Chain A
Amino acid sequence: MAILVKIAIAGEGGQGVQAIGDILAEAGNEEGKEALYIPNFGVEQRGGVSLAFVQISDEQIGSPKFQHGDIVIALSERAVARTKQYVTGDTLFVYDSSLIAPPEVADEAVGLQVYDSVAPEAQADAVSEQPKTGKVELPKNAKKVIGIPATDIALSELHPRVFNMIILGATVRAAGVVDIETVKHALETKLGKKFIDDPKLRELNFNALQRGIDLVEEALQGEENNDQKDV
């Protein structure tokens, strides 16, 4: 059977959703796999939920978009509502449990928010004010739901701008289809010059990446322990 992993990532403009999708697919490609990334894009220049579709496989990928994701990542309240349609009983659903208005980013050097490989309209660059209402209904039909306080951690422990690197790390761990070293290499390719200019940036980004991996790792471990208790 062919391996095919389908990943949907959704968030507010400015959270770096498209960069996460792009880097992930790039890493898949670097490993010699078939990889396909497509952003949602429309007539709006800003606002709205930003969605990235990524598929990684060992053979040619079918349609660019899909009906159901193996991994669905939602980074805001609206994104949770927007992505419910992609969730089935096989889906690992990851959301940002901080779910606060996302940090504003205008600097691509840290956290890689914007670069020019896709159309400007594919990348909302302004932050929509989406206050936390506390009324989010998480999908009930997912195989697993994991909440990680990525925004809180970015703000309190790392740097608001590496929020999406935490999410990238979390996605890499959740998907388990690309090696973290390839992802780091893909980041080096994109940001190499800036990393050389300021080595602290590399450390900051890579730390955030690792933090995201650990968060999902812990959540999955926790679930396993709970399962064992039930037995």
Chain B
Amino acid sequence: MAEKPIQEEKRVFMTGNEVVAWAAVAAGADIMYGYPITPQNEIMHYWTRLAPKHGKKFLQTEDELSAGFTTLGGALAGRKSFSATAGPGTTLFQEPLSMAEMMRIPVVVIVQQRGGPSTATVIYSQQEVNMVTFGGNGEGWRVVYSTATHQELFDYTIKAFNTAWKYRFPTFILGDGYQAKMREPLVMYNPEDRGIEMIKPVASLGLPGTPGKDRDAVHLRNTYSVEEELYDATMPIQEDYEKMSKEVVEWDERNVDDADIIIISHGVVSRAAIAAMNRLREKGVKVGYFRPITLRPFPDEQLQKVAAKCSNFLLVESALGQLARLVKSALFNMPIDNFDTLYKPGVGVTAEELVQRIEKTIK
């Protein structure tokens, strides 16, 4: 029996990239494939330090296309495999990830968003929402967890491996450069010590026995000859995705019942939203808060229930309407009182400016 990666629950103070590497070890990941890009590089750095101590492996590939496909290969061989990327790297990951959607390959990819389009900044944004939710050629059959704190980076990285292997859809942790590089406290633990059962990976290819004699042949396809054949293959995947959605969808809502205005945000920006809500509540302004944790599948019904109570919204994101697109789709055909937006592509959002904005609009 291998030594536990984390001896006992403990409070630590580290960068988000370090948190991800530790979480992957705690989740029982077997191998990371990767290609360097800021701001996720230290996930690779820390993984390569931790991996040999825990009997795990690392492969640096020649680019992100290759990193994506090798990650798929690892999963097909029955290894818990993952990768991490950002920005233009996420763009290149779309091709392997759409293959994972078609062939139901359970891979985990951590995306630490940087500015876009193109090289832009290496620092921060929320501009990779479109890409991680619906980036490939296909229907967006992915699970995307958008984290806000180091504790969530740890918790959801562990969870992502179970989601991927249970439902066999590619699963993203969507962080950002701020979360990657900042240090803050969190509690690390072994999932098993908290009663979280980690799903054992199984190989899809290279199984023992002779195909057709000892067992059925494995035939994983991403290529179809005629339209109807593709239709027959994809509709059951869509059904599985819809069935899974009810089980994996996650969101956070606070103070919505008596709210006069509700801030909608996701990821690290939601920290500013909570701080702004708390400050304004102290002044007697009834501010509520809604945050999708899974951006895909999106908590449509949950948001609709909130909108039925109060639909005076302020949507804020570090992008030009990428979260807003998902929100508007969820609220389609609902009566909405007001839909105010604060878009700051590639720039952080502070509690101060949210407080100012709401104080101006409420008066």
Contacts and interface: CB of A to CB of B under 8 A. Distances in A.
Chain A complexes with chain B: yes
B61 interface: no
Interface stretch (A7-15, A37-45, A73-81): A37-45
A42 B123 contact: yes
A62 B351 contact: yes
A194 interface: no
A66 B181 CA distance: 16
B84 to A, nearest CB: 14
Contacts of B38: 41, 43, 119, 121
B348 interface: yes
Nearest to A68: B352
Given A29-B13, A63-B272, A119-B38, A35 B350 contact: no
A65 B350 contact: yes
- Tell me the interface secondary structure of chain A in the complex: loop
A66 B350 contact: yes
A123 B122 CA distance: 15
Interface residues of B, number: 36
Nearest to B349: A63
Interface in B101-136: 121-123
B138 interface: no
A67 B347 CA distance: 12
Interface stretch (B72-80, B182-190, B221-229, B286-294): B182-190
Contacts of B276: 62
Given A62-B275, A119-B41, A34 B348 contact: no
B271 A61 contact: yes
B289 to A, nearest CB: 12
B64 interface: no
B310 interface: no
Contacts of A42: 121-123
Given A43-B122, A62-B271, A118 B13 contact: no
B13 A119 contact: no
B341 interface: no
A60 B149 contact: yes
A117 interface: yes
A118 B181 contact: yes
Interface string A20-58: 001001100100001111111111000000000000000
A34 B185 contact: yes
Contacts of A117: 14-15, 18, 183
A101 to B, nearest CB: 28
A61 B184 contact: yes
Given A62-B275, A63-B271, A63-B272, A36 B121 contact: no
B123 A64 contact: no
A41 B122 contact: yes
A105 interface: no
A213 interface: no
A122 interface: yes
Contact of A122 (B149, B181, B274): B181
Nearest to A122: B181
Contacts of B181: 38-39, 41, 118-119, 122
Interface in B261-293: 268-269, 271-272, 274-276, 278, 282
Interface of B: 11, 13-15, 18, 38-39, 41-42, 121-123, 149, 177-179, 181-185, 268-269, 271-272, 274-276, 278, 282, 348-353
Given A38-B181, A60-B274, 9 more contacts: A36-B184, A38-B178, A41-B38, A41-B181, A63-B275, A67-B350, A117-B183, A119-B38, A119-B42
7 tightest Cβ-Cβ pairs between the two chains A and B = A62-B275, A38-B182, A29-B13, A63-B272, A62-B351, A64-B178, A36-B184
